[in-house]
Amino acid sequence: MNIDLKEMTQLAPIFRELFKGYHLSRSEPECYAQLSNMQDQYRALFKALGFELVCDPRGFYYFVPEQMGAQVNKTAQRLALFTFILVEHLADQGRDPLSVLDGGTIGRDELPALLEKYRDLFMQAEVTTHEELEEKVIRRLTQLGFAEDSNGVYRFLPPMHRFLDVCLAVQHDRDLAASLHSTDLELRAPVLMDDDSGDTIIPIETSESVEESEEDALARAMAEERAVQEEDA
């Protein structure tokens, strides 16, 4: 496949965001449009540079971490746990969790009651105050492209489906256990593991675990690609 770098006018911002763990969706219209229109070219280029681009049909793009079996960092686990809690909370209120987490919203004023109701679970995530909930969870959701903050109203974006998939899998296991009338299968919310644990919840890499800067990585990768092209010529 011929790859014309001149046509990839959004290459630098696309790579920068994907490299730091951001999930690109329609909330970034220029980058998303170019990825959608040149999906095969971008996937081929990033593969040649050592990155695997995932093009989720539900409308978002992200990089797969280099080591899929490595322990997921605590941020990703914390966000998965928060999603589980939110699904339970919305269902208890008679609200459809899928409609809320798939383009819907919650308000900042809902967070204190949520924290109080699920305090024991939040303590697993080292979240004990309203400020920590906003800093460690909500802010990270917005930084990684899972949600947008509009003056204290949080709108969830398509990448939330990654965490919803985990929650639906847990619910499926619960339903299976119930159908078997089993008392031996105790199913709980996703539990945060120690950093040296081998268990994972969902493979997401964030900028907290990246040592090389986005600019340096892109410059290195592009230099390697040019060298390969010169050798082929």
CA distances from 190 to 40, 82, 125, 168, 193 (A): 35, 9, 10, 12, 9
Q: Among 110, 71, 112, 116, which Cα is nearest to 93's?
A: 110
Cα–Cα dist 30/10, whole Å: 8
CA dihedral 51, 21, 99, 151 (to 10 degrees): -150
Higher pLDDT, 191 or 155: 155
Three-state DSSP class for residue 39: helix
Quick one: average pLDDT of 48-70? 83
* Token representation of residue 153: 């109203």
Residue 67 has pLDDT above 60, yes or no: no
Q: What is the pLDDT of residue 168?
A: 76
Using CB atoms within 10 Å of the CB of residue 193, give its burial: 0 to 12 exposed, 13 to 18 middle, 19+ buried.
Answer: middle
68: DSSP letter: T
The confidence band for 90, taking pLDDT boundaries of 50, 70 and 90, is very high
Quick one: average pLDDT of 40-63? 94
Residue 58 has pLDDT above 70, yes or no: yes
Quick one: average pLDDT of 1-15? 91
pTM (two decimals): 0.74
Give 25-46 pLDDT, tens digit per residue: 999 999 999 999 999 999 999 9
Give 202-219 pLDDT, tens digit per residue: 444 444 444 455 555 555
DSSP H helices, 28-71, are: 29-37, 39-48
Q: What is the pLDDT of residue 179?
A: 60
Cα–Cα dist 80/95, whole Å: 20
Strands (E), 41-138: 52-56, 60-64, 105-107
Report the share of the chain in percent with pLDDT over 70.
Answer: 70
Higher pLDDT, 197 or 227: 227
Residue 72 has pLDDT above 70, yes or no: no
Give the mean pLDDT of the chain: 80
Are 145 and 25 spatial neighbours (Cβ–Cβ below 8 Å)?
yes
